[in-house]
Structure 1
Amino acid sequence: MKKIAIVTLSILAISFTSCKNDKKDSENSEMDNTNEEMVSSNEVSKKVSFKLESKSDSQATGDVAFSQKGDMVMFEASLSGLKPGMHAIHIHENADCSAADGKSAGGHWNPTMQDHGKWGSQSGYHKGDIGNFRVDEDGTGSVSMQTNEWCIGCGDNTKDILGKSIIVHEGQDDFKSQPSGDAGARMSCGGIIE
């Protein structure tokens, strides 16, 4: 009878130890996965930067950077060589800046076929309607924004900015004239390409 009790206790002890180790391994695995997700969501997953070249006989140039972290895309541009005042900046549909007037970049990027308007407007706006920015007396200005309505190389035709371009205009976007806001000549252009 003592032998049966010892064997039974031995089997129970082995089973308990095995279950405890399985649970510990499972918890460690879950923690590893959580840490990987936290690390990846805090890292910049994609980045594209480029220079803007002068168009329409202007001196306007600049540096542009897009970076994606998770589902958010950050846009930053530093510009120079512009007349003081307000200027429009948009994403256009082609990464082609070969024309002297910048028109090879096509119209505003508008994959959802909305009316032109101010970014975030209830009445609609193009995915390329970034807006206006101020240029100081020294001819420099900057603009930045972030959104989850864009992505870098995700393949979603309604969000992917790769293969498009940035255009800086001579004047200010009025946010109502169709289809482009009556912002005037294209002063600089740069293709959003990797």
Structure 2
Amino acid sequence: MNKKTILILFTMICIISLSACNTTDEDQTKEKQQSNESVETAGDMEEDTSKQIFVSLKDRKQREVATATLMQEEDGVRIQLSGQNFIPGKHGFHIHETGACEGPDFSSAGGHFNPTNVSHGNVEDGPHAGDLPNVEVKEDGTVQADTLAEMVTLEKGKPNSLLKEDGTALVIHSDEDDYKSQPAGNAGERIACGVIQEGE
């Protein structure tokens, strides 16, 4: 075998070796990208399930009388309420359809959150997605409540999302909700209101 043939063979071996190295590098780069994408996706899912919204509820004199924490759970949105300076007894507690709490009567919050257009309360064609159990204020004027709203979500873009474009609101009423009177359970005046939106 002459020198020319040996040189040609040597050159071909080098080219093949370099191509193999390049292919390996490209494969490794793709694997890293896919791995990073998987981690980001998992992170997004974790963020969604741990989403929390904080709401400040104010009375008609614009004094903060309660706070609420909303947390996305697998079966709905958990609402934890803590407040003070209320009249003892049971009070209606609802999610309203508009994120506006303008005084003095908070009518800007609109009606109950009702994306499926059904009746209020424990009736055949009900309840509203925004219907929540009454809260009970103690003799000292404080209230603590923990409820799961199974018909709503904090996931944006869903028909039953509380984070829709014009927002939603939490409202406490002066009287007890009877869960049958239309359209709002005969729960009386709106005495506290808080806007549900990100960043609150």
- 1:99-154 residue CA offsets vs partner (Å, 9 max, x unmatched): 43433433212122122236xx99543222132233333322233436683337x4
Show the counterpart of 1:138: 140
Larger proportion of strand = 1
> Could you list the runs of 5+ residues in structure 1 that have no partner in the other structure?
none
When the two structures are superposed, what TM-score results if normalisation uses the length of structure 2? 0.70
> Could you list the runs of 5+ residues in structure 2 that have no partner in the other structure?
none
Pairing of 1:1-194 with structure 2 (within 5 A) = 3=6, 4-43=8-47, 48-55=53-60, 61-66=65-70, 74-117=78-121, 123-144=125-146, 145=148, 149-151=152-154, 154=156, 158-161=160-163, 162-193=166-197
TM-align CA RMSD: 3.6
Partners of 1:155 and 1:114 in 2: how far apart?
A: 21
> Are residues 89 and 7 of structure 1, via their aligned partners in 2, closer, same or farther at CA, if it must alter by over 3 Å?
same
> Are residues 18 and 83 of structure 1, via their aligned partners in 2, closer, same or farther at CA, if it must alter by over 3 Å?
same
When the two structures are superposed, what TM-score results if normalisation uses the length of structure 1? 0.72
Percent same amino acid among aligned pairs?
31
Deviation at residue 29 of structure 1 after TM alignment:
0.7
Deviation at residue 90 of structure 1 after TM alignment:
0.6
Partners of 2:106 and 2:19 in 1: how far apart?
A: 74
Partners of 1:15 and 1:175 in 2: how far apart?
A: 74
Which AA in structure 2 matches 1:172?
A: E
> Are residues 133 and 32 of structure 1, via their aligned partners in 2, closer, same or farther at CA, if it must alter by over 3 Å?
same
